[in-house]
Amino acid sequence: MINLEVPKKFEQLVDQAHQAAAEFLRPNSRKYDEAEHTYPKELDMLAALLDGLSAAGQGASAGGVRRGGSDKGADKSKQGNRNGSNLQLLLGTIEMCWGDVGLLLSMPRQGLGNAAIASVANDEQLKRYQGKWAAMAITEPDTGSDSGAIRTTAVRDGDYYVLNGEKIFVTAGERADCVVVWATLDRSLGKAAIKSFVVDRDTPGFELVRLEHKLGIRASDTAHFRLDNVRVHKDNLLGSPEINTEQGFAGVMQTFDNTRPLVAAMAVGVARAALEETRRVLAEAGVEVDYDRPANAQHAAAAKFLKLEADWEAAYLLALQAAWMADNRKPNSLQASMAKAKAGRTGSDVTLGCVELAGSTGYSETSLLEKWARDSKILDIFEGTQQIQQLIVARRLLGKSSAELK
C-alpha cells in the first residue's frame, strides 16, 4: 500500500530542492521570463543538485530514471513496498517547479530525452550518454498529438541510418548535447515501425531552423529542427531495430510512462506556488480560509480557494501513485496518463483561478501569479494533450485498441 507521506530518506533531498528553488529559481523567475532565449548561466551551479535528484545511486542513469532491473531470484514476499528513484525525482521536480518550471526545463542534463534514454537504452548506451543533456523531438509540422503518424524517415544504409524530416517544439533543443529523434523505418507499417535515435547536435545535416517565442516557460528554449540526410550510427538506435507489428511501438512509448508523471509533477509544483501566494493575498484582504467549516458557509473567495486546493490534492496523489507504481515494478501506463490528464488540467484551472481571486494583483506583474498561469498551460499540452490522455485512459479502462477507439 502506498504511504502518502514523504519518505524519510527523501526528506533531506526535498528540502535541498526547495531551498534551491527558493534561493535561485524563484528570485530569477521574472528576469529570465523577460529575457527569452537567454541561457541562465547560474543554472550550472545547480546542475549538481539536479544530478543528485535523478541519480543518487538508486538506479537512475543518463539523467533520467531507469525503470528497474530484474527481480529474478528475489523473494518478493520480503521486499515490501519500494520508494525509489521515480518517486524521488517526482518529489524533487515538484519543489523545483514551485520555484520556476521554465528554469527547471533549462537545467543541464535533465531533458526529456534523458528520460527516453533511461527508459529503453541498453547498458552501453547508458554509459555512453551518461552526463549528456538530451532533448526529445517527437512533434512535427503535420503531426501533433498522434505520435504514430510521424513522417520523419530513417532508412538503413550499412551501419548507419539516414534520417530526413522536420521536428518542432523541441524543448531545450538548442542547448542540449544531443536530441532523441523519433522516426519511422517504414511508414506503411504504422506505429510498429517508429523508433527513436540519439542524434548528436553537431551531426552534419541536423539544422536548427529557429527558436520559438512562447506564451510561457520562456526561460526554456524551444527549437525547430530540419534533418537533411542526417547519418546516425546503428548503435544510436534505442531499443530493438526489429519491427514487431504485434507489439506496436510499445517499447518507444515506455518513455511516456516515465515522463508523464514528471510533467504532472511540474503542474503540481506550479499550482502549489499559486495556491500559497493566493492564500497570502486573501489573508491580507481579510479573507480567512477555514478548514473546519463547510465551504458554503464561508466567504465566496474562500470557498473557491478550497475547491481549487481539493483539485490540486487529487492531482498530487495521482502523480505520487504513478511514480510509486514504477518504483514497485507495476505497469503504470494507465496511472501515468491519469496523472498527466488530471494535473495538466488542474494546473491551468488552479493558476487561472488564483489570478481571478487575487484581482489586479494576480493580473499584474507585481506578483508571479500571471506568469504561473502562462507557464502552466504548456503542461496540459506537451507529452500528450488533455484529449489524448483521456483517450488513452478510456482505451485502457474499456480494453479497446487504438483502432477500435479513436
A 10 A CB-CB count for 334 gives: 16
Say which residue, 160 or 84, is predicted with more confidence: 160
Residue 78, exposed/middle/buried by CB under 10 A (0-12, 13-18, 19+)? Answer: exposed
275 and 291 inside one domain: yes
pLDDT at 227: 98
Domain tally, the chain = 3
123 and 153 inside one domain: no
C-alpha closest to that of 128 among 248, 276, 237: 237
**DSSP secondary structure string for all residues of 286-334:** T----TTS-GGGS-HHHHHHHHHHHHHHHHHHHHHHHHHHHHTT---HH
198 and 303 inside one domain: no
pLDDT at 249: 59
Residue 370 is among the residues annotated as catalytic for this protein: no
Q: Domain of 268: which CATH number?
A: 1.20.140.10
pLDDT at 61: 36
Does 245 fall in a domain?
A: no
17 and 113 inside one domain: yes
- The answer on pLDDT for 59 being more than 90 is no
- The range of the structural domain enclosing residue 324 comes to 250-398
- The answer on pLDDT for 51 being more than 50 is yes
Give the list of residues 6+ apart from residue 86 with CB closer than 8 angstroms, or none: 65, 258, 261, 323, 324, 326, 327
Does 194 fall in a domain?
A: yes
pLDDT tens-digit map of 101-158? 999 999 888 788 888 888 889 999 999 999 899 999 999 998 877 777 899 999 999 9
381 and 255 inside one domain: yes
pLDDT at 56: 47
**Phi, psi dihedral angles at 63 (to 5 degrees):** 85, 0
pLDDT tens-digit map of 61-71? 334 544 443 34
Q: What's the one-letter identity of residue 206?
A: F
pLDDT tens-digit map of 229-243? 999 999 999 988 888
Does 97 fall in a domain?
A: yes
- The answer on pLDDT for 72 being more than 60 is no
pLDDT at 1: 57
Say which residue, 57 or 256, is predicted with more confidence: 256
Cβ atoms of residues 240 and 331 within 8 Å: no
Does 2 fall in a domain?
A: no
Does 28 fall in a domain?
A: yes
Q: Domain of 109: which CATH number?
A: 1.10.540.10
Please give the span between the terminal C-alpha atoms of the chain, in angstroms, as a whole number: 34
Give the DSSP H/E element, type plus range, for residue 178: strand 178-184
28 and 87 inside one domain: yes
- The answer on pLDDT for 312 being more than 80 is yes
Q: How confident is the model at residue 189 (pLDDT cuts 50, 70, 90)?
A: confident
264 and 341 inside one domain: yes
Say which residue, 56 or 196, is predicted with more confidence: 196
41 and 14 inside one domain: yes
pLDDT tens-digit map of 2-45? 667 888 999 998 999 999 999 999 999 999 999 999 999 888 87
Last residue of a domain, one of 196, 215, 238: 238
- SS3 state of residue 91: helix
pLDDT at 192: 85
49 and 168 inside one domain: no
pLDDT at 77: 44
Distance of CA 262 to the CA centre of its chain: 4
124 and 263 inside one domain: no
Does 120 fall in a domain?
A: yes
93 and 175 inside one domain: no
Query: What value does the mean pLDDT take over residues 54-78?
Result: 44
Does 54 fall in a domain?
A: yes
232 and 288 inside one domain: no
Does 87 fall in a domain?
A: yes
pLDDT tens-digit map of 204-222? 999 999 999 999 999 999 9
Averaged pLDDT of the chain: 89
List the catalytic residue out of 288, 365, 383, 404.
Answer: 383
